[in-house]
Amino acid sequence: MREVYRKRVGTLLEALPYIREFSGKTVVIKYGGAAMNSADLKEEFATDIVLLRYIGIKPIIVHGGGAEVSGLMKKLDLPVKFVDGLRVTDAATMDVARMVLVGKINKEIVSLINRFGTRAVGLGGDDGMLLIAEKLVKRSADGSLLDLGQVGEVTQVNTALLEMLEADYVPVVASVGTGTLGESFNINADTVAAAIGGALAAEKLIFLTDVPGLLVDVEDENSLVSECTAVELEAMVEEGQVSRGMIPKVEAVLAGLDQGVKAAHIIDGRVPHAVLLEILTAAGVGTKVLPSPVGVSGRVGKGRSRG
């Protein structure tokens, strides 16, 4: 019986150094994929966020909701069109995106976190001028300009607003922004998370995905890269070791690190309590990417040295 007690206490004690290290720090979490679609995973994610708040960590959640936007557009008989993974957004599409992201998904996340024991507040990127954006300039393979409509990229983050809110609340941010003339923009949620993480110099930038992390061979889960540096990750992309579908996540990881995030993580959101496991245990549940020290490069690692 004593051994059972030791194991229970050991599980708690494993988290102690990470609680000590990250208490008071900001963690930006891009919430998406299966973790948003399963009722059980939704509740487990919410309890993870509540526990992080209780131990002094300050989470900020960024979410998209592309599947639900597409679903409502089809019901409304509106065309759904993507170019290079980005939704072509005309005025009608923008209205639907705001309705789904700000009016539905954001409220559901806030309500769930509130129900499990801490206070969350929902925001669109245009609330309080939180996310200032401009039209995204995108070119085709032949160099010609692509018109994606009201698709934007973040140019400025209202860090004062987020810092004020995160002192007492969990900010939950929908991935829409506003231009300097008041126009609305649909923005990729990965890039929003990276922009917020960089602007706040967040301790961690975490992306929940539907894969185990970065795999050298997408057919082999044993090829998981548990830890690497930004320069090693860039080399993997150049060598074709990163799947096409993972490229947008990788670009967001690199952007966040370049802008000042201390560490970025691509984790398996299908794993129950994935956020807690990644932050508070040695093994983690995905890939951790660190900034590259100047002049340092090397091979990607299978071992894990957390911090």
- List the catalytic residue out of 33, 65, 177, 256: 33
Closest CA to 130 of 203, 207, 192: 192
204 to 26, 71, 105: CA distances (angstroms) = 7, 32, 24
Q: Which of 65, 66, 284, 286 is catalytic?
A: 66
- What is the pLDDT of the chain when averaged over all its residues? 91
CA nearest to 93, candidates 103, 78, 83: 78
Is the distance from CB of 109 to CB of 122 less than 8 angstroms? yes
Whether residue 213 lies in the annotated active site: no
Place of tokens 């649909």: 186
**For residue range 85-119, what is the model confidence (pLDDT) as tens digits?**
789 999 999 999 999 999 999 999 999 999 999 99
The answer to whether 249 is a known catalytic residue is yes
pLDDT tens per residue across span 123-179:
998 899 999 999 999 887 777 788 899 999 999 999 999 999 999 999 999 999 999
Q: In the predicted model, is pLDDT for residue 292 greater than 80?
A: yes
**Domains defined along the chain, listed by start:** 24-290 (3.40.1160.10)
Based on the residue annotation, tell me whether 210 is a catalytic residue of this protein. no
Selected catalytic residue, list 48, 126, 190, 268: 190
SS3 for 2? helix
Distance CA 27, CA 262 (A): 10
Residues 145 and 19: their CA atoms lie apart, in Å, by 48
10 assigned to active site: no
d(C-alpha 251, C-alpha 158), whole Å: 22
Q: Is 149 a catalytic residue?
A: no
Pairing of strands 138-139, 145-146: antiparallel
Which H or E run contains 130?
none
